Structure 1
Amino acid sequence: MQILILGNSKDVHAAHLREAIAQTGTDVDYLDIAQFPTQLRVSWSPQTSEGFLTLPSGQRWNWQSIRSVFWRSLAPIQVPSLPDDQRQIAGNDAMAVLRTVMQSTSTRWVNSWRAYQFHKEKPRQLGVVHQLGITIPDTLVGNDPAAVLAFAQRHAKVIFKPVYGGAYIQPLTPQHLQPERLQLALSCAPIALQEYIPGTNIRTYVIGDRVYGAEIRSPSLDFRLDAQAELLPLTLPDAVEQDCRAIARALWLDWTAIDWRRRPDGQYVFLEANPSPMFIHFERQTRYPITQALVDLLLAD
């Protein structure tokens, strides 16, 4: 049995989990996509569904012997210097092979290519969760100034953030809505607007059937900006635990961190589910066995 970590040793979470798996006596190594196709060698046959992965170290692993791959991070492929037209073809070919082995081999990906792609469509993620009957914030995405102004007028307080992610939440101010500024911003990129949800930040981790929760105490609008934020273990209501598992299933996530806002009246409002969250700080603060749960998940039949 063999396990791969999608990522490399420079990522502290990848290195942490690799060490934990190695302590079980299991063969484990990194699958660093930045080394493909220059150093990694991949083969796969549509007729037999068999193939091999040869690592830079020279180890040759049969895809059928690889129990799991933990998806920590997907680095860009590194195609050698070629003329632009040839470089594009080479890059497309390399990604086609990677997508194939990620979806067609018997190896279990935690999480899958499908889940990773779905995460990049966060408005759609919100829609799916809403269809489960779980409360989400009133949300608008797009670049229509009239729609943005109408949304802002419907709510006393609004926050905005990139549709794709990758930046922090900010409050929407009257200055943002000045006509020239708004037109310029929306001609550059669409935006995601949400009603501000008063209350407390809650983070839950789902690992297989296990669910762990913590209250995050921070005065910051985005707690990720607050190095002093407190993480307090939390006993979740049974209904919220069930919602966590339902969200993970609906988004094809074997493991995830789900962020919520708990309103003053106790209602939980879904914000986002992350398919590759950081977890070491959360584990150290709460003492929840996140690492062991992930190891168990990756080694499970």
Structure 2
Amino acid sequence: MNVLILGNSSDIHASHLKQALTQAGVTVDYLDTSLFPTQLRISWEPNNQVGYLKDKEHQWELKDIHSVFWRSFTGVGIPSLKDSQQNRIAFNDSMSLLRTMIKACPARWVNSWQAYEFHKEKPLQLCTVGQLGITIGQTIITNDPDQVIQFAQSHKKVISKPVYGGAHTKVLTDSQLNLKRLHLALSLSPVTLQEYIAGTNIRSYVIGNSIYSAEIRSESLDFRQDAEAELIPVELPEAMQQQCLAITKALYLEWTAIDWRQTPSGEYVFLEANPSPMFIHFEKQTGFPITKELVKLLIS
């Protein structure tokens, strides 16, 4: 059985899972797309749907790859070219073949390209989850200063975060509502604003049909910034567990970490579903068998 991990050994989660799979008797290697096209070779024959991957040490036929774990996607590593047009053509050609390989490979992807693409459109993700009948917080994504001010005035406390991701959540301050500053910032990029929801952070890991949840006690607005956050295992109500499975299916995920905010009245508000969450610290603190469940998912 051949299993690939999308990423490389510099990622602690990728190396941790590689070790676990190896101990389970699986042949596992890294698929580092940053080495393509300089060191990684990809071939694809559309007429008979045969494809190959080859690096300095290995060669895999796509049909022989059982599963791929999507840890991190680094795109392609195009050498720097003086001619910008040639550089653009080289990048587009390489990405086209790489995307074809990812989509055409019949292996089980955990998670798929489709899930990865969906995650990049976080506003659409929120909308999709809301259409399932799951509660989401009041949100606006905009680069219109007037809309920002109107939204801020409509809520007692507002948080801001990037539309795509890559930065932490922050409380919107009065200084940020200065018109001159707003016009400058929003002419560069839009922003996501959400009503602040008082309550408790809950994170639910979904692996296949298994669900593991914990309350996260932290003084930080964004608990990812708090190394001292306390993790306390909890059992979600059956209705919430069904919502976890519904979200996972709707977002084309095989596994995910879903972040919730539980209000003082007991209502669960959806915040986000991550298609490639970190899990080692969570597993150590809670004792949940996340690694074991991932190995099982990848070899099933």
Deviation at 1:165, TM superposition (A): 0.7
* Residue deviations 1:51-87 (CA, integer Å, cap 9, x gap): 1111231x21111010111000011311123222111
Deviation at 1:45, TM superposition (A): 1.6
Deviation at 1:171, TM superposition (A): 0.6
Report the Cα distance in structure 2 between the residues aligned to 1:81 and 1:274, rounded to whole angstroms: 32
Q: Superposition RMSD on alpha carbons, in Å?
A: 0.8
**What corresponds to 1:64 in structure 2?**
63
1:247 aligned onto 2:250:
no
**What corresponds to 2:280 in structure 1?**
280
Deviation at 1:233, TM superposition (A): 0.6
Deviation at 1:125, TM superposition (A): 0.2
Deviation at 1:108, TM superposition (A): 1.6
Unpaired runs of 5+ residues, structure 1, are: none
Report the Cα distance in structure 1 between the residues aligned to 2:133 and 2:147, rounded to whole angstroms: 25
Give the letter aligned to residue 285 of structure 1: Q
**What corresponds to 1:36 in structure 2?**
36
Give the letter aligned to residue 72 of structure 1: R
**What corresponds to 1:78 in structure 2?**
77
Give the letter aligned to residue 183 of structure 1: H
1:122 aligned onto 2:86:
no
Q: Does the 8 A contact of 1:49 with 1:105 survive in 2?
A: no
* Residue deviations 1:178-226 (CA, integer Å, cap 9, x gap): 1111111111211000000000000000101111100000011111111
**What corresponds to 1:231 in structure 2?**
231
Q: TM-score, normalised by structure 2?
A: 0.98
Give the letter aligned to residue 193 of structure 1: L
**What corresponds to 2:11 in structure 1?**
11
Q: Secondary structure at the match of 1:43?
A: strand
Give the letter aligned to residue 129 of structure 1: V
Q: TM-score, normalised by structure 1?
A: 0.98
- What is the 5 A alignment of 1:82-97? 82=81, 83-97=83-97
Q: Does the 8 A contact of 1:50 with 1:105 survive in 2?
A: no
Report the Cα distance in structure 1 between the residues aligned to 2:144 and 2:84, rounded to whole angstroms: 35
Give the letter aligned to residue 170 of structure 2: Q
**What corresponds to 1:158 in structure 2?**
158
Q: Does the 8 A contact of 1:71 with 1:110 survive in 2?
A: yes
Deviation at 1:105, TM superposition (A): 2.1
Q: Secondary structure at the match of 2:187?
A: helix
Q: Does the 8 A contact of 2:197 with 2:261 survive in 1?
A: yes
Report the Cα distance in structure 2 between the residues aligned to 1:260 and 1:56, rounded to whole angstroms: 44
Give the letter aligned to residue 41 of structure 1: R
Give the letter aligned to residue 49 of structure 2: S
**What corresponds to 2:169 in structure 1?**
169
Report the Cα distance in structure 2 between the residues aligned to 1:179 and 1:94, rounded to whole angstroms: 43
Q: Secondary structure at the match of 2:8?
A: coil
Q: Does the 8 A contact of 2:75 with 2:95 survive in 1?
A: no
1:202 aligned onto 2:191:
no
Unpaired runs of 5+ residues, structure 2, are: none
Q: Secondary structure at the match of 2:44?
A: coil
Q: Secondary structure at the match of 1:282?
A: helix
**What corresponds to 1:101 in structure 2?**
101
Report the Cα distance in structure 1 between the residues aligned to 2:255 and 2:243, rounded to whole angstroms: 14
Report the Cα distance in structure 2 between the residues aligned to 1:189 and 1:90, rounded to whole angstroms: 28
Report the Cα distance in structure 1 between the residues aligned to 2:51 and 2:293, rounded to whole angstroms: 30
Q: Does the 8 A contact of 1:4 with 1:29 survive in 2?
A: yes
Give the letter aligned to residue 253 of structure 2: L
**What corresponds to 1:49 in structure 2?**
49
Q: Does the 8 A contact of 1:283 with 1:290 survive in 2?
A: yes
Q: Does the 8 A contact of 1:5 with 1:72 survive in 2?
A: yes
| Count of aligned pairs between the two proteins | 299
Deviation at 1:88, TM superposition (A): 1.0
Q: Secondary structure at the match of 1:188?
A: coil
Deviation at 1:140, TM superposition (A): 0.2
Give the letter aligned to residue 182 of structure 1: L
Deviation at 1:23, TM superposition (A): 0.8
Report the Cα distance in structure 1 between the residues aligned to 2:198 and 2:80, rounded to whole angstroms: 51
Report the Cα distance in structure 2 between the residues aligned to 1:197 and 1:211, rounded to whole angstroms: 24
Give the letter aligned to residue 88 of structure 2: Q
* Residue deviations 1:78-101 (CA, integer Å, cap 9, x gap): 112322211111111111111111
Q: Secondary structure at the match of 1:272?
A: strand
Aligned residues with identical type, % of pairs: 60
